[in-house]
Amino acid sequence: MTVPALTPEQLLEAADRVGLSLTEADVDSYLGLLAPYIAAYNVVDALPDNLPEVKYPRTPGHLPLPAENPRNAWYVKTAIKGAPTGKLAGKRIAVKDNVMVAGVPMMNGNAILEGYVPDIDATIITRILDAGGEIAGKTHCENYCISGGSHTNAKGPVHNPYKMGYSSGGSSSGSGVVVALGEVDMAIGGDQGGSIRMPASWCGIVGMKPTHGLVPYSGIMPIEIMVDHTGPMTANVKDNALLLEVLAGVDGYDPRQFHEKQPGTLDYTAGIEAGVKGMRIGVLKEGFTHPNSEADVDACVRAAAEQLRKLGAVVEEVSVPEHLLAPALWVPIGTEGIAQTMMMGDGYGASRRDLYVTSLIDKLHGWELRADQLSETTKLLTVLGVHMKKLYGTRYYGKATNITRRVTAAYDAALAQYDVLLMPTMVMKATPIPPPDASRELYVQRALEMIGNTSPFDITHHPALTVPCGMSDGLPVGMMLVGRHFDEAKLYQVGYAFEQSGDWKKRGPAKQAAAKKAAAKPAARKR
């Protein structure tokens, strides 16, 4: 598209937006001075874009009918075959619908983006295919990923795999469901406030939010660079470690990657069976008994900690008071990031090296004309972010970022004493999906009420793994393990040891109470 010269009216409008008063003589002067700069834009416009090659053939797939999608977990089903051999040979992988797969539709849960077809594969898609994996399709996610519930997608709610009418968690809602139902072996999720771990917990699967920047975010629609993470969701711990081995490492595009860890060199499966004997596990005091905590969830996770003690770990309570402060710090970072990067920045913003997919920018630009089609959560946080920017600039974003360093140091101090920290992933079980006529208050509550334990580690960037640890009222409960930066291997070691120690579906408060009651019965007398 050619960039035309400014008209006098356009120049005056732009000047007015930044508070300039121009005379007629100023307008003539500006128009003349700007001409060579507009010419430079047209040089850029005429050049071919410099985007990664798409390596593997594919078709757009199909939108599944309700009969093959009863929980509304899938957006598109397809079958993109990768290399004939590799670590993921024979594995079928589902992809959260904020991740670009060339030639396959993407809407990121929102009607505004519907009809968009990416022209590149995200780095992680190329890595999966190079490793022999098959892309099975795109899974529904929450509306622009702004929800920890599963009720905000423009195509309707995603239902829990264990209980229809209940939330599967979000925002990687569909990814959690299709893994739990065994429809795929693995899935990709994204995590800015807990969006891998929350659906993994409520769907009874394993989810890893890696250290920030370990897995490249290139080719994935951002929310905010400070909190953007992507990672694996799987039915078991070993598969999770295997997929992370394929995904991790620098790609030369992503500015979130300050490390130099090379793709294909990271091994998370080698020591996974080493056990936990002698390991030190800190049960985080502040991760329990929140105002919205459910007693059965706390009890289930404490029982899991006790099981790790039986396996030989040293398990002690540890206090990090800053944990209760961290969710408040997430608010300015997440809210202003959503408004300035994803919304006003057309999905990217500026001022950083990145892989800018201009077709996505073009599709998002002008979203304000259809703003009423945004979810209530996206509307709410966008309005707040725009308001704060106008009145205070980026003051609170900056201050929250500064204070986050203190919170990070507090976790680091605890992790200097303990190998991992342990707490509930979410302090409540899956909640009922709000009805279509729900009030805005209930809609927002069900989207954001559960992030107290997950959101802190999106701003401090520590790796966090959720592992299912029991059932209560027919719904899964997740245990979260948090480790030192880039020490994902230790989290997998602990998670695997717990997983192998018994069937998590047979654990839980009701099961524990029954076992205690049976143990307390006097032995029957011999006749």
The β-bridge partners of 234 are: 186, 206
* Collapsed DSSP state (helix, strand, coil) of residue 519: helix
Please provide the DSSP assignment of 351-383 as one string.
SS-----HHHHHHHTTGGGGGGGS-HHHHHHHH
Selected catalytic residue, list 96, 209, 429, 490? 96
Q: Is 22 exposed, middle or buried (0-12, 13-18, 19+ CB in 10 A)?
A: middle
173 tagged catalytic: no
* Collapsed DSSP state (helix, strand, coil) of residue 55: coil
CB 161, CB 180: distance < 8 Å = yes
167 tagged catalytic: no
How many other C-beta atoms can be found within 10 angstroms of the C-beta atom of residue 29?
12
Token digits for 210? Answer: 């890696």
Nearest to 240 by CA among 495, 504, 506, 497: 495
How many angstroms separate the Cα of 149 from the Cα of each of 142, 423, 453, 495?
A: 8, 20, 15, 25
Nearest to 301 by CA among 456, 467, 483, 432: 467
Selected catalytic residue, list 171, 218, 375, 455? 171
171 tagged catalytic: yes
Token digits for 432? Answer: 């009922």
- Rounded to the nearest 10 degrees, the angle between the axes of helix 395-417 and helix 326-337 is 140
Report the C-alpha gap between 404 and 410 in whole angstroms. 10
Please provide the DSSP assignment of 27-46 as one string.
HHHHHHHHHHHHHHHHHHHH
Please provide the DSSP assignment of 210-252 as one string.
PSTTSS--TTB--S-TTT--EEEEESSHHHHHHHHHHH-S--S
Q: Encode 291-321 in three state secondary structure.
A: CCCCHHHHHHHHHHHHHHHHCCCEEEEECCH
CA 465 to the chain's CA centroid: 12
Report the C-alpha gap between 71 and 382 in whole angstroms. 29
How many angstroms separate the Cα of 304 from the Cα of each of 301, 313, 423, 494?
A: 5, 12, 10, 11
CA 279 to the chain's CA centroid: 29
Selected catalytic residue, list 167, 173, 195, 201? 195
Residues with catalytic function = 96, 171, 195
